[in-house]
Structures are given as C-alpha cells and as structure tokens.
Amino acid sequence: MRICVVDGKAYYAKHLLRAKLPDGPIRFPACADGMLCFTDRDLARAEAWLKEQGIGKDEYKIEELQPPPGFEKTVGVKYASRSEAIAHIEQDIEPESLVLTRLRERVDAAERRAEAAEQKAERAEGMARAAESRLETLEKDIKLTKKNYERGGQDAKR
C-alpha cells in the first residue's frame, strides 16, 4: 500500500513520476515505476529535483493516483505509525488515538445517562413527596369527616 504517515497524518501517494531515474541516492520515495509524491508540495519538490538532475519535463510523466480503498477512514485520525494506519484501513483495527477517543465518548455517554437517571429519580422523589402530602391531607379530611359524622350522630340521639 502506497501510504505514509507524517506527524500522525496519513497520506496516500497522489502522484507517480514515471522517469528514468539517475544512478545514486534519490531523496524521494521511489518504486520500480518511478518516484511517489504524497502531496502537491512533494510533487513540486520532486520536479525541481529532476530538473537539478538534468531531467526535463519532456522526459517524465506525472500519473495521478487514486486513494487506496478504505483510505477515507483516515480523515481526522492521528496515527503512531504507517503500520497502524494500514491496519486501520485494511483490517479495521482502531488506532490507539481512536481507542482513547471512543473511551472518552463512552464515559461521556455514561455520565449523561447517569445525570438523566438522577434527574428522573429527583422528579420521582418530588412526586412521591407530593403524593404523600396529598395522602396526609386526605387522612386528615377523613378523620375530620369521621369526627363530624360521629358528632352529628350523637347530636341526632339527643
């Protein structure tokens, strides 16, 4: 897979410069077909280097490359290494940076659920107190009514 990781960000080879490369060290990632450029800046630097080596624009071709399948998973994700990025793309293994993010998301969600449950419990306690108060009022009314009824019955006997 033609990808690299720079400062935690994954890049795929966007351009392939097909050229007969000079002997000696090459300052850019190379493959059997030519030099790989991961950004437009890399492309400009590689073209400048080819010019320094005496290779003119008519002696090389620039081929636009497509992102590898699954590369969209890398957007906004930080990677510790190229192999971690490849494992994420090919095997859907979450990188360590996402594991921590997912754990934080789960903790936040659990805290929100706990807060909602606490509020629900407080409302239930309030409703229970109100029901208890109404019950006490009804019991007092019943006692008063019973007392008045008993008095009324005694008054009727006289």
pLDDT 10s digits, 50-98: 898 888 888 899 999 999 999 999 999 999 999 999 999 999 898 988 7
Distance (Å, rounded) from C-alpha 28 to C-alpha 44? 12
86 and 69 in contact (C-beta within 8 Å)? no
pLDDT range class, residue 40, cuts 50, 70, 90: very high
Distance (Å, rounded) from C-alpha 124 to C-alpha 130? 10
